[in-house]
Amino acid sequence: MDSVYEDVRRILENRRIRSEIVSREMNDRLREEHPSIAAIEEEIDQLEMERMLMAIRGESSEELLKNIEKKRESRKQILRKCGVDLKDFDPKPFCPLCGDTGYVTKIDGNGAETTTICSCVRTLLAPVMISRSGVEQYPQYAFSKGSAEFYSDSPKLQAVYTRLSQYAEQEKIPNLVFYGCPGKGKTFLAVAIARKYAEQGRSSLVMRLPDFQEIAMEHRKALQAFYLSREKEQDIEERFEYLKTADLLVLDDLGVEPRTANSEADLLSLLDKRLLSGKVTIVTTNYDMESLRERYGSRFFDRIDRSFKRICFREEK
């Protein structure tokens, strides 16, 4: 991912350079078309140079500064007569929201500043995030291809669907556990949320429990291996790290994985790391809550009970 972010940084830098070049070319044309603008700007530049030299010599430049302000006012008047707006001299960024910096700063009513990644960066990141997320295995699982009518037999789930689709668009989803009957749309909704995250340039990953087990086992073997090629070791470490650091992780079909000596410890360790770092996790399972407690024990169930919002998918009477 470091190379991806570096590519995005380069794109933003190139956009800034291009806007500066276009701005200079436009300014040159304006000065060529209106010689009076070029003449007054040359006078201002000479006066600014004199002011700098006087400052170096420690001399007062108060009178000179007044003269510079008069020249600047004359420049404004000349520009108006020529039908030129001052804004024409400013670089025109590709993205007006962030000025091609990649970040947007907002100030709330209390004067507190919040800085967020600009939507233009998320657009650049989206193709990579989608390809890494695993959602392409589920081409029909998306909010754009479904609707609340999918849950027409359950008004409660219809409301959940609508609310989560809005949350995925605007803000961070809470940790969720979807449990209950098979075939009721648990995986559909979880993957749709992961897809929306990826489309917004946020990192997400959909992982079935047996696949997670395999990665965890491979990582453990790599740590214990006497020798492993650098490329192989790096690949294993990156895949394992992404499980912990993705903004959203969907652990699908909890309970179908075979039980091994380390399976429950690996799962518990992953949940703890994600909870501590504030990353969002969605778990889907056909088990009910009591069955989850019996299978995985109180330590695992305690994490679910304390830190996850439960949503039951079942036949409504």
In a domain, 51, yes or no: yes
Domain count, the chain: 2
In a domain, 109, yes or no: no
Statement to judge: residues 168 and 292 lie in one domain: yes
pLDDT in tens, 73-126: 888 888 888 777 767 777 888 898 888 888 888 887 787 888 888 888 888 889
**Taking 80 as the threshold, does the pLDDT of residue 2 lie above it?**
no
Statement to judge: residues 81 and 213 lie in one domain: no
Statement to judge: residues 80 and 142 lie in one domain: no
Given 47, 70, 89, the domain boundary residue is 89
Statement to judge: residues 132 and 84 lie in one domain: no
In a domain, 113, yes or no: no
Domain that holds residue 253: 121-313
Residue 35 amino acid letter: P
**Taking 90 as the threshold, does the pLDDT of residue 217 lie above it?**
no
In a domain, 210, yes or no: yes
pLDDT in tens, 167-213: 888 767 899 999 988 888 899 999 999 999 999 888 999 999 999 99
Statement to judge: residues 160 and 295 lie in one domain: yes
Statement to judge: residues 150 and 284 lie in one domain: yes
Given 45, 69, 89, the domain boundary residue is 89
Statement to judge: residues 255 and 171 lie in one domain: yes
Statement to judge: residues 181 and 281 lie in one domain: yes
Statement to judge: residues 39 and 140 lie in one domain: no
37 contacts: CB under 8 Å, gap ≥ 6? 30, 31, 75, 78, 79, 82, 84
User: What pLDDT does 277 receive?
Assistant: 93
